Amino acid sequence: MSLIDHWKDRHPQPRGGGRIIVYVILLVLVVFLMLKAEDIGETFAVMFSGDGDTTEVVR
Amino acid sequence: MSRFPVFDSHVDTLLRISGPPEFLSGSSTQLDEPRALKGGVEDLVLAVCAEAERDPTASWKKAFGIYEELIERSSLRLHLMAEGCQPLIELYPEGFPRDLRVACLTWNVPNSLAGGVHSDAGLTDEGRALVRRLRDSGVIIDVSHLCDRSRRDLLRMDVPLVATHCNCRRLRDVPRNLPDQDIREIASMDGVVGVTFVPRFLAENATSSHIVDHASHVADLVGVDHVGFGSDFDGMGNPPAGVVDCTSWPAIFEEMSQRGWSDGEITKASCSNWRRVFGLEET
Ligand SMILES: [Zn+2]
């Protein structure tokens, strides 16, 4: 094993590509939550409010 | 035939010959294949010191052409070195030749990458970027011709280093020789210092026994695992007294033996340490 291979062994390179994918997914998630904040809030309100009719028939 | 195989980490023969036949069947230079074999040489680093020539790019192309032919025809194991990297920037913006194993950023004069010993320039941004590219391509970086400032800059970078043809400043105070501290740092990265035969870097009135002095100093300082030889045949004028050409290797090893080096220690210095650095099998 050459001097450079030894060096590479001791310096595992961070997998740049993998890290970028994680950042992109986090960004998409944040934007999605911002856009849908209202809907999600309403859904929660309906689910946890005591007077919601959960057997509601669609008319 | 020498009983010690030789890995010579620096000769300048490529730009001294007109073509492969001179190397293969004999020349008037300090090194050719028949004499190298007689001296026990098995591995040879052929440097292209293009920056010392009038047209560095053309010189690199010519030397590289000879090298490519030699690698097919020579019975020695040959390795390519760039001595001064300015031509590489122009010729290889994408990838370096596969055979390029070692590179020194400059020759004696400064270029756009770093400062040679005739300057006090530091490593430039372009130099740092090239060092990373070379390192990532598996090319070993050589500090031999760098001035103190550029060499210190390089030692501060995270990159494994060697000296293919340098001696010890403690024994001979010239800019081309390495201070003890730098030898320690190179050894700490598992690098090797190739003791060179250039009389001016050995001593006043240099002889072959000064070669052994410098090798012994490196061994005493950092251990025998970091001693090698880079003769600089065909890169110097007259060799030191006691050295004629590349047939003189056995005489140097004989002197080492007389001065208390064991056969195992001589073998490490003659070839094994450089082979470790280059990742090569013993032949
Ligand atoms: Zn040189």
| pLDDT tens-digit readout, A1-59 | 788 888 888 887 665 667 788 899 999 999 989 888 877 777 766 565 544 334 444 45
Give me the pLDDT at residue A11, please: 80
* Chain B contact for A7 (CB, 8 A cutoff): yes
Q: How many residues are listed for chain A in this entry? A: 59
User: Would an 8 Å CB–CB cutoff place A4 in contact with chain B?
Assistant: yes
Model pLDDT, residue B78:
98
Considering only CA atoms, which of B125, B57, B134, B133 is closest in space to residue B101? B134
Please tell me the least confidently modeled range out of A1-15, B118-132, B182-196, B259-273.
A1-15
CA of B232 to the centre of ligand 1 (A): 7
pLDDT, mean of residues B130-154? 97
Q: Kindly report, residue by residue over B65-109, the tens digit of the pLDDT.
A: 999 999 999 999 999 999 999 999 999 999 999 999 999 999 999
Note whether residue A30 is domain-resident.
yes
Asked whether the predicted pLDDT for residue B130 surpasses 60, the reply is: yes
Residue B9 dihedral angles phi and psi, to the nearest 5°: -85, 5
Q: Give the chain B residue nearest A3 (alpha carbons).
A: B277
Q: Determine, yes or no, domain membership for A44.
A: yes
pLDDT for B3: 86
Residue A5 located in a structural domain? no
Domain B6-277, CATH: 3.20.20.140
Nearest CA in chain B to A2: B279
Give the CA-trace dihedral at B183, B188, B192, B195, to 10 degrees: 20
Q: Which residue of B has its CA nearest to A4?
A: B138
Residue A7 belongs to some domain of the structure? no
Mean pLDDT of B242-251: 97
State whether B190 and A6 contact (CB < 8 Å).
yes
pTM: 0.85
Q: How far is CA B209 from the centre of its chain?
A: 20
| Closest listed residue to residue B220, CA positions, set B260, B247, B254 | B260
Q: Which residues of A touch B191 (CB under 8 A)?
A: 3
**Given a cut of 80, is residue B20 above it in pLDDT?**
yes
Does residue B118 surpass a pLDDT of 90?
A: yes
Mean pLDDT along residues B221-245? 97
Domains in chain A, number = 1
**Biggest CA-to-CA distance, chain A:** 76
Q: What is the pLDDT of residue B216?
A: 98
Structure tokens at B65: 């052409």
Residue A8 lies in a domain: no
DSSP H helical segments within chain B, as ranges? 20-25, 33-39, 56-73, 86-91, 125-136, 148-156, 180-188, 199-202, 208-222, 249-258, 263-267, 273-278
Label residues B261-275 b or e (16+ Cβ within 10 Å = b). beeebbbbbbbbbbb
Does the distance separating the beta carbons of A3 and B162 come in below 8 Å?
A: yes
Query: Is residue A39 domain-resident?
Result: yes
The domain in which residue A40 lies consists of 16-59
Q: Yes or no: say if B193 and B161 are a contact pair by the CB < 8 Å rule.
A: no
Domain annotation covers residue A1: no
Average pLDDT over residues B194-220: 98
Determine, for residues A2 and B277 on separate chains, whether the beta-carbon distance falls below 8 Å. Answer: yes
- Give the per-residue pLDDT at A44: 66
Q: Strands B77-83, B100-104: parallel, antiparallel or unpaired by DSSP?
A: parallel
pLDDT band for position B223 (cuts 50, 70, 90): very high
Q: How many CB pairs under 8 A join A and B?
A: 32
Asked if B279 and A2 come within 8 Å (Cβ–Cβ), the reply is yes
Does any domain span residue A4?
Answer: no
Q: For B111-119, what is the mean pLDDT?
A: 96
